[in-house]
Chains A and B, each alone.
Chain A
Amino acid sequence: MSILEYNGGCVLAMAGKGCVAIASDLRLGSQAQTIAFDKSKVFKLNDQCFIGLPGLLSDSQTFVDKLKFRTALYKLKEGREMQPSVLSHVTANMLYQKRFGPYFIEPVIAGLDENGDPFISAMDLIGAPVFAKDFVLAGTSSESLYGMSESLWREGLEPEDLFEVISQALLSAFDRDAVSGWGAVVHIITQDEIITRKLKARQD
C-alpha cells in the first residue's frame, strides 16, 4: 500500500470559457475503513486561487496552512493577491524543498488570473509542474479520471456546462475507486462569482 493511497480521495480541475472548475470527493478513510464523508480536498486561498490537495490528509492540512501563511504575507508585502500561476510556482518550490522527505500530496491548482483568463496546473509530490489547457487531476482515481475527462471535456464550455462535465467525469471515475467517493463538492469560478455545489453520490 502506498502512503498516497492511505486516506483515499481525488481532485479534478477543468478550464472553460472565462471560467474554471475544481472538484473533489468527500471521503476520508483509514485504508478500508471510512471515517468521514465531509472532507473536501479543495481549499480556497483567495478569490482567484483554489488548490486541491489529494493524498495524505495530514500533509494536505499542514500544507494548506503553510500556503495560507505564504499568500497572506505575499498580500501584505506586495499589496495584491497572489495569482494562480505564482501560487503554482510557490507550491512547486515548497514541495521541492522537501525533496528527500516529501509531503505526500499531489496538488491541483485552479483559478482565474487578473485578466480573467483560466489557469490550471498540477504537480507531483516533489513539485514537477504540468500546465494544461483542458484539465488536470490527481488522486487514487486518477486513471479513471483521465479516461472520463478525455472523453467528456471539450473547448469553450460555459460555466453551467462545465459544471455538468466536471461533475459527471468525477462521479463516474470515483465510483470505480474503492477509497474515493462518498459525495463530492464542485466549485465553479468565474470573474463575477464562485458557485459551490455538493453532489449526491453512491455512499459506498
Chain B
Amino acid sequence: MARRYDTRTTIFSPQGRLYQVEYAIKAIQNAGTAVGILTKEGIVLAAAKMVTSKLLEQKGTSEKMYIIDDHLCSAVAGITADANILVDYARRNALQYKFRYGEPIPVESLIQNICDLKQSYTQFGGLRPYGVSFLLAGFDKHYGFQLYKSDPSGNFGGWKATSIGPGEQQADSLLKNEYDEDISLENGLQLALKVLSKSMDTTQIEADKLEFSTISLNDREQLEYHLLTENEIADLVASADLEPES
C-alpha cells in the first residue's frame, strides 16, 4: 500500500504520512551514534565512527564532528556526503549573518535556517531529503550554551542531553536516568562515553572508533572548541573503567 505514496516527497499518503521523509530518518540508523550533553560549563559532543580501517588516512578531517563558526560546532549522523553539503551551508549561513549584522549568529537562528533548508526538500523540487541529523552545540549572548537536535524532516528541538543515530533509544533512556543539570564538563565527558558505549553494539570500546569534542569557556573567558586527541580519548576510556556489555 505504501508503494503508491512513497516514491515522491511531495505527496502525502492517505494516512497523512510522508514516506520519503520517514525513509530518510531511517537512513540515519546506518550511521554512527552521536550524543550531546549540555552542562553549565559547556557542551560535550561524542560520536562513534562507522568508517574505521587501518588503511584510512584521516588527518585533519573528521567523519562526525564539524566546526561551523567560532561559537558553534556540530556532530552529524547519516549520509556523510549529505552532511558535508549541510555543514558548508551552515558555515556560509553563519558567516553571512556575521557579515550582515556584525555579530555571531544566535544558535537557534542557525538551526532554524538549516532546518528550513531541510524542510524545503520535503515539500518542493521533487528532490530527496537530506539523510542527516544534526546535533548543534553553541554559545550566544542571548541564551548561553545551547544544544539542538534536528532530523531530515526539518524538525528541531532544544535539548539538555540527547542523541542521534542507531543507539538513540538506549542512549536517551540512559541519559534520562543519569543526566543532571549541574553536571560538570568533565563528568559530562564521562557520561557521554558511558552512554555511547552502552548504546553501541560492540563489547569492546576502542579509542580510535570514537570522537569527542567540547565547547566551553576557557580561563580567559574566551569560547574554546576542543577536539579530543587520540591520547585524550584513550585516557578518558581508561579512567572510565567501563564494564563490557554482557
Contacts and interface: CB of A to CB of B under 8 A. Distances in A.
- Chain A interface mostly: helix
Interface size class of chain B, counting residues whose CB lies under 8 Å from the partner chain? 10 to 19
A79 B65 CA distance: 13
Interface string B88-115: 1001100110110000000000000000
A63 to B, nearest CB: 11
Contacts of B96: 69
Contacts of B69: 72, 76
B209 to A, nearest CB: 22
A109 to B, nearest CB: 20
Contacts of B95: 69, 72-73
Interface of A: 65-66, 68-69, 72-73, 76-77, 79
B99 A77 contact: no
Contacts of A79: 60-61
Interface of B: 60-61, 67-69, 88, 91-92, 95-96, 98-99
Contact of A69 (B61, B67, B98): B98
A79 B98 CA distance: 20
Contact of A66 (B60, B61, B68, B99): B99
Contacts of A68: 98-99
Contacts of B92: 73
B104 to A, nearest CB: 11
A86 B95 CA distance: 20
A73 B91 CA distance: 7
A77 B60 contact: no
Nearest to B67: A76
A65 B101 CA distance: 11
Determine chain B's interface SS by DSSP, over half rule. Answer: helix
Contacts of B88: 77
Given A72-B98, A73-B91, 7 more contacts: A65-B99, A69-B95, A69-B98, A73-B92, A73-B95, A76-B91, A79-B61
A72 B69 CA distance: 8
Sorted from nearest, which 7 A-B pairs have the closest CB atoms? A79-B60, A69-B95, A69-B99, A76-B91, A65-B99, A72-B95, A73-B95
A69 B104 CA distance: 12
Contacts of B67: 76
Contacts of A69: 95-96, 98-99
Contacts of A66: 99
A91 to B, nearest CB: 16
Contacts of A65: 99
Contacts of B60: 79
Contacts of B91: 73, 76-77
A68 B95 CA distance: 9
B193 to A, nearest CB: 26
A82 to B, nearest CB: 14
B75 to A, nearest CB: 16
Contacts of A76: 67-69, 91
22 contacts: A65-B99, A66-B99, A68-B98, A68-B99, A69-B95, A69-B96, A69-B98, A69-B99, A72-B69, A72-B95, A72-B98, A73-B91, A73-B92, A73-B95, A76-B67, A76-B68, A76-B69, A76-B91, A77-B88, A77-B91, A79-B60, A79-B61
Contacts of A73: 91-92, 95
A72 B68 CA distance: 10
A84 to B, nearest CB: 21
A68 B99 CA distance: 8
A165 B92 CA distance: 42
